[in-house]
Structure 1
């Protein structure tokens, strides 16, 4: 009876709103989510690179090591029950967990791990770079990743620590797929890519029961999951693009969760039937100064700028619920994040800094910004507060593509933008904010340091690479904390905020976990009272 009702619910949600709105409350063992899922391009772990696809992959697949629902900041055993590190040999040996099985019923074997990594490197699709930075190529992958007995040995080629390697192996493309099932569906040498973009072959807490692009995702609980069966029987994620429709479905009881409501809609939710939970997200938002603009090169300008941002004024008004004050390049919620916020809005101090340094004002500068909320609102706030110290912004709005193109070409003066890590290791952002060993125009780098033409001091470059290679986890974290402090105190990049994500849900829903990225969205612990 429960299964029949769940099927009817899934069908009903595919109907127009007028029909869906007549449904009763959702079944007790089904979590129904209204969400915009049209960003999905691929769901094969070797190709998936979108926000929603990351959420799907995390719930359907496992990795050797992974950040899990119980604590998204702790690297925990996954399909590997234990591992040993040989830093001298640049190798990590993983012992595969006893009794782990794929949804097909096939046992998880060391050979599946070898196949999964080889598959990512061979296909070389969008997220492959995360694994290939370990020195893996199609030519050497069979020597770099090997199986023996119930173990897998991973070798890496590069001057970096095993801690970095473990974080790479906890990333999305390192998900382990069922080789036997996947290769049954290989077509024209695609290693099952076409089939895995409509189906799944994982061992995770949920099995992909149904996926229709731009319509629905249905996950069913895996009763044999190695950490125990999920508390909820199934999860239905229904594509609902319009926030207003999501709000109506939530308040009428036809869905349990709405993930894309606007701040105004969140503020308008009333009554005891719904609640809102806020989750820090990985993106940090910053104001940066291109060092090709002479008036923006004095360090006194950088220092003054830190006291000309109305951090509290913005987060307590139009950014309420969307961003929190955060002034370091590594996001809160990740291990090793610096959470100190030493700067406050103080225009008198900013004027004093400029005056004591002999900086002549006014300084007139263009500020590029994406032409949408809340970015334009942030730009207008900065325009007003910076003017109090004689720094006059001319706001140049543009599409995201236009703004980012100028940024990559280093043709901007000041830039209001954001940055997020590719995987959960501090080096992902340290390289972007604290490293630039070659500032020449023809040495394009996908970092905010190079794009702002900031020739990072040699000692900071050296410290960034030392952190990457440091084998001791505590010592490595200490180096990253020091780098964050240095960038926080003196750089042409003023980090202001960290994004926050508001999720509205029924008051009876508990246990939903939404970490700092879509790779840390977990449904396994969800219950409905």
Structure 2
């Protein structure tokens, strides 16, 4: 275990990223406060190294992992999934909730002892304001509110959320929808509905509050000691520091300059095992590494070509050589974290059949988009390119930033022919996720392959009005089987997210509310 006042060693060399301003402003060291208090007192700061750009604190964009990483501890939803039974929903800002028998409304009783970080009491008007704002802006987390009609304020501690049509899994999406302070956000509305202000400010009720120091390289949040669920074992401060290179995160963790490495490759994580004072956890998540195809235009509109591309990849080789055999090779379109799983369809290479199916491509070159800042994605993309080259198919690797990729979904003609990414469904009931990914009504927003199948649409519509969980599960299995047979994506691996961290930190476990862990559960000692 590290001493709380251990001396920090600086890793020198070109690979070391500049420390962002937010870290310089924090005035603290990794692993301890300037006073070197004991871990169990909660008097320390924790520095988290993460990958990719941190672009806003606006919970509108909490569907983006780097935003949700912070918003998940600054804001709170009405409900969340139970920590021990993911299929059960429990109250967060709501203490009780009832779904109407016709699944067209949900009644909420709100927690009465909650304040926002500026001291303003939380009331029903904040719920209505927040939900209406998401719908008004119509992007990001608004995808979780499809079918939302209005919020009726009964009194300061009671609201009814009304839907346009029966939707049994609407409430699952609310676990990822954060509530904001109406007064503070309205005051800074400007001409963009407060989006500019919320890039570096927040208006939440969570256990941590923002410090106004946000930049693309990270942010700093401080513990809110008037939080209704206060726990003194939470760190007093969390510093989120962008470090894109896995090797740099590894070395910074070993040197004591960061306390959590949140962007390691499997090999770098493996190399940390056995290091004194450092633990490693390959967190098995609800996410899958998938290669999505554009099913509507270009060569990949042909299901035979899509099937050939699926069969060409060396799943076993990538699993052992790139992922160090952590996680699992996919058995269908959903991660094994779920319970509503169709009959297994193990992903496996079949070069002979792939070559036969891909013969129709001729000399066509396909572009594969991937996130080059992710070392594992780069290796998997390169392996796929090599596999296809062996079959006489040319694959051009094209890096793309995730925010830029999301923009391509607005039109089927701009969706990449092949897109490699880790995709997560942040609800134990997969209905909402299946709906977003495979409902043709969501082409132009969350349907990643511009996929359209009337049979799947009909099954989703039926599931939406089915309140019995067992019956919905059967419908989900039918959807999974059909989507798998249509080769909408190459399902590659369950995401086992490697995290290295200081040994005296607790709570580094899988969470349904954030990807792949929530810092809500992080504790000292």
Q: CA RMSD in A?
A: 4.5
Q: Distance in 2 between matches of 1:71 and 1:526?
A: 19
Match of 2:106 in 1: 92
SS of structure 1 residue aligned to 2:499 = strand
1:60 aligns with 2:74: yes
| Counterparts in 2 of 1:68 and 1:216: CA distance versus 1, 3 Å | farther
| Counterparts in 2 of 1:460 and 1:44: CA distance versus 1, 3 Å | closer
Deviates further, 490-499 or 57-66? 490-499
SS of structure 1 residue aligned to 2:147 = coil
Q: CA deviation at 1:381?
A: 3.7
Contact 2:53 2:242 in 1 (8 A): no
Match of 1:134 in 2: 147
Q: Distance in 2 between matches of 1:98 and 1:337?
A: 39
Deviates further, 479-488 or 191-200? 191-200
Which one of the candidate residues 465, 468, 474 is aligned to 1:469?
A: 465
Q: Distance in 1 between matches of 2:480 and 2:110?
A: 36
Q: Distance in 2 between matches of 1:334 and 1:197?
A: 34
CA shift digits 1:465-492 (9 cap, x unpaired)? 2223322222112211221123224535
Match of 1:260 in 2: 263
Match of 1:200 in 2: 202
1:235 aligns with 2:237: yes
Match of 2:175 in 1: 170
CA shift digits 1:239-285 (9 cap, x unpaired)? 24354543333213343212223444323325232121122253541
CA shift digits 1:344-376 (9 cap, x unpaired)? 34556x48x96xxxx795864533223645455
1:447 aligns with 2:454: no
Normalization by structure 2: what TM-score?
0.76
Q: For structure 1, which runs of at least 5 residues remain unmatched after alignment?
A: none
Q: For structure 2, which runs of at least 5 residues remain unmatched after alignment?
A: 9-18
CA shift digits 1:429-466 (9 cap, x unpaired)? 4346544489xxxx86753443xxx653x333311222
Contact 2:75 2:205 in 1 (8 A): yes
Q: Distance in 1 between matches of 2:238 and 2:300?
A: 54
Q: Distance in 2 between matches of 1:149 and 1:110?
A: 5
Match of 2:96 in 1: 82
CA shift digits 1:371-421 (9 cap, x unpaired)? 645455435544555677xx5321122232799999955589962533635
Q: CA deviation at 1:315?
A: 0.9
Q: Distance in 2 between matches of 1:406 and 1:201?
A: 30
Q: Distance in 2 between matches of 1:74 and 1:199?
A: 32
1:250 aligns with 2:253: yes
SS of structure 1 residue aligned to 2:204 = coil
Q: CA deviation at 1:316?
A: 0.8
Contact 2:176 2:513 in 1 (8 A): no
Q: Distance in 2 between matches of 1:83 and 1:21?
A: 41
Q: CA deviation at 1:516?
A: 5.7
Q: CA deviation at 1:204?
A: 1.8
CA shift digits 1:109-134 (9 cap, x unpaired)? 22322232234344x26436336622
Q: Distance in 2 between matches of 1:366 and 1:379?
A: 15
Contact 2:23 2:239 in 1 (8 A): no
Bigger Cα Rg: 1
Match of 1:146 in 2: 153
1:495 aligns with 2:491: yes
Deviates further, 364-373 or 22-31? 22-31
Q: Distance in 2 between matches of 1:179 and 1:109?
A: 9
| Counterparts in 2 of 1:293 and 1:41: CA distance versus 1, 3 Å | closer
Deviates further, 279-288 or 251-260? 279-288
